[in-house]
Amino acid sequence: MHQLRSILPALAAALLVPVLRGRVAAQPGCTIPSDQHVVIAIEPLEMVPGERRVLTLSMVRAPYTPSEPLPAACRARWSVPAGSHTRVDNRGQLQVTRYAKPGDQIVVTVDVGGRKVRQEVHVIDPHPNPIAGTWTQSGPAQCTGAPDAAAEPVRELIIRRDGRFSATFTPFETYKDYWGTYTYDRSTGALNMRTVGGNHVPPRLDLAGTARVANGRLTLRGMWLGDREPAPARTCTYVFTR
């Protein structure tokens, strides 16, 4: 439980959390239970310049638990920062204009049922990123160095298009072992990941290597993603599937 609690600050930017900094005008019939969070998405949304998307609100008691609709009487008031190259209407339709640049981060705010709620939106490169997605290690890694020691497989490698990643040996709810940022060169396949935090960061990680996707499989070469238990560093080739 301590590990689960320790990840929540790292997810604060990703989780749409109700902020009760003063009540907005009451709405008759719009009563949100005190044990419910109002959310749009658990993690930051990714949108490309020129994209439109209708944002929808729901209620959850905890991340990754079943959601419930808001009471029909609830009316949301949406807003975005001035000069952010975004627009939002009273139906929650968000538009990222063509002037937005990959790397921009926008915070959408909504007042509903006496709560003020925020959601991060990351503007991403419109070109496809072949390595982006949620991957699961397929079979043991092929390593040099300590060949008789089998490393724990990475059962969840999440590579987001906004330049962030996380790695987890045993996924459970919101738990992640470590996370950070990455750069990827599509032409050469060079992948460089850098950790910025974690609940369990194995020592002597080597997160610089190459990444290629073919036939639905992601292959990482020349890297060491660590182990769940203390283990000597190695240089490995990993194969992942979606």
- Domain positions in the chain are 13-123, 133-241
Backbone φ and ψ for 2, nearest 5 degrees, come out as -60, -40
User: How much is the CA Rg of the chain, to the nearest whole Å?
Assistant: 20
Backbone φ and ψ for 3, nearest 5 degrees, come out as -65, -40
> What one-character DSSP code corresponds to residue 122?
E
CATH fold of 13-123 reads Immunoglobulin-like (2.60.40)
Q: Which amino acid is at 10?
A: A
> pTM for the complete prediction?
0.77
Q: Which amino acid is at 152?
A: E
Under 8 Å between Cβ of 19 and 116 = yes
Under 8 Å between Cβ of 191 and 210 = yes
pLDDT for 78? 97
Start-to-end C-alpha separation, the chain:
28
Cβ contacts of 211 within 8 Å, gap of 6 or more: 131, 184, 189, 191, 218, 219, 220, 221
Q: CA–CA separation, 182 vs 175, rounded Å?
A: 20
Cβ contacts of 79 within 8 Å, gap of 6 or more: 88, 108, 109, 110
The CATH architecture one would assign to domain 133-241 is: Beta Barrel (2.40)
Per-residue pLDDT in tens (0 to 9) along the chain, 242 residues: 444 444 443 444 444 444 433 344 457 789 899 999 999 998 899 999 999 999 999 999 887 788 899 998 999 999 999 999 999 999 999 999 999 999 999 999 999 988 999 999 999 999 889 999 999 999 999 998 765 567 899 999 999 999 999 999 999 878 999 999 999 999 999 999 999 999 999 999 999 999 999 999 999 999 999 999 888 888 999 999 99
pLDDT for 6? 42
